[in-house]
Amino acid sequence: MYTKTFLSTALAVALASAQNNSQSLNALITNEGELSGLGTLLESYPDLADTLYSAQNITLFAPSNAAISALQRSPGFESITEAQVGALLNYHIVAGEVPSSAITETPTFAHTLLNDTAYANVTDGQVLSVRLSDDVETDTETDDSEDSDTPAVVVTSGLKTEATVVQADLNYTNGIVHVIDTVLTIPLNVSTTAYAANLTALAGALTAANLVDTLDAASDITVFAPSNDAFSAIGSAAGNLSTQQLSDILQYHVINSTIAYSSSLGNGSVETVGGGILNITVTDGVVFVNSARVINADILISGGVMHVIDSVLNPNNSTQSEPDADEDEPVVQFSGASSAPLGALTSGAPAASTTVTALVATTEDVAQGYPTQTGGAIGTGAGGSEPTGSNSGGGSGSESSSSDMASMPTGAIGAAALFGGAVLLANL
The SS3 call for residue 225 is strand
Residue among 71 and 308 whose Cβ is closer to ligand NAG? 308
Q: Which residues bind ligand NAG (CB under 6 A)?
A: 16, 18-20, 22-23, 27, 31, 57, 95-97, 99, 113, 115, 117, 119-121, 169, 171, 176, 188-189, 191-192, 198, 212-214, 216-219, 221, 228, 236, 239-240, 254, 256-257, 267, 269, 273, 279, 281-283, 290-291, 302, 314, 317-321, 331, 333-335, 344, 355, 360, 372, 374, 427-428
Q: How far is the CB of 251 from ligand NAG (least distance, A)?
A: 7
Q: Is the dihedral of CA 231, 234, 236, 241 positive or negative?
A: negative
- Measured CA to CA, the distance from residue 239 to residue 338 in angstroms comes to 11
Rg of the chain over all Cα atoms, to the nearest angstrom:
23
Least Å distance between CB 97 and ligand NAG?
4
> How many angstroms separate the CA atoms of 355 and 97, rounded?
35
Q: Is 22 helix (H, G, I), strand (E, B) or coil?
A: coil
69 or 236, CB closer to ligand NAG? 236
Helices and strands (H, E) in the chain, number of each type: 17, 14
Secondary structure in 3-state letters for 93-133: EEECCCCHHHCCCCCEEEEECCCCCCCCCCCCCCEEEEEEE
Q: Please name the residues in contact with 329: beta carbons below 8 A apart, sequence gap of 6 or more.
A: none
Residue 3 vs 48, nearer CB to ligand NAG: 48
Q: How far apart are CA 359 and CA 357, in angstroms?
A: 5
Q: Which residues contact 37 (CB under 8 A, 6 or more apart)?
A: 63, 64, 65, 67, 68, 69
In terms of CB distance, is 69 or 245 closer to ligand NAG? 245
Provide the minimum distance between the beta carbon of 140 and ligand NAG in the complex, in angstroms, as a whole number.
28
CA distance 32 to 148: 25
Nearer to ligand NAG, 47 or 143 (CB): 47
Pairing outcome for strands 268-271 and 162-172: unpaired
CB of 403 vs ligand NAG, minimal distance in Å:
15
CB of 1 to ligand NAG, least distance (A): 26
Strand pairing report for 152-156 and 58-63: unpaired
Comparing CB distances to ligand NAG, the nearer of 140 and 243 is 243
Report in angstroms how near the CB of residue 125 gets to ligand NAG at its nearest.
7
Q: How far is the CB of 308 from ligand NAG (least distance, A)?
A: 12
On the 0-12 / 13-18 / 19+ scale of CB atoms within 10 A, 354 is middle
Nearest residue (CB) to ligand NAG, 176 versus 246: 176
Name the residue nearer to ligand NAG (CB basis): 106 or 320.
320
Residue 203 in 3-state DSSP?
helix
CB of 271 to ligand NAG, least distance (A): 11
Closer CB to ligand NAG, 140 or 300, in the complex:
300
Query: How many beta carbons lie within 10 A of that of residue 371, not counting itself?
Result: 12
- Return the closest-CA partner of residue 241 out of 213, 273, 208: 208
Question: What is the smallest separation between the CB atom of 215 and ligand NAG, expressed in angstroms?
Answer: 6
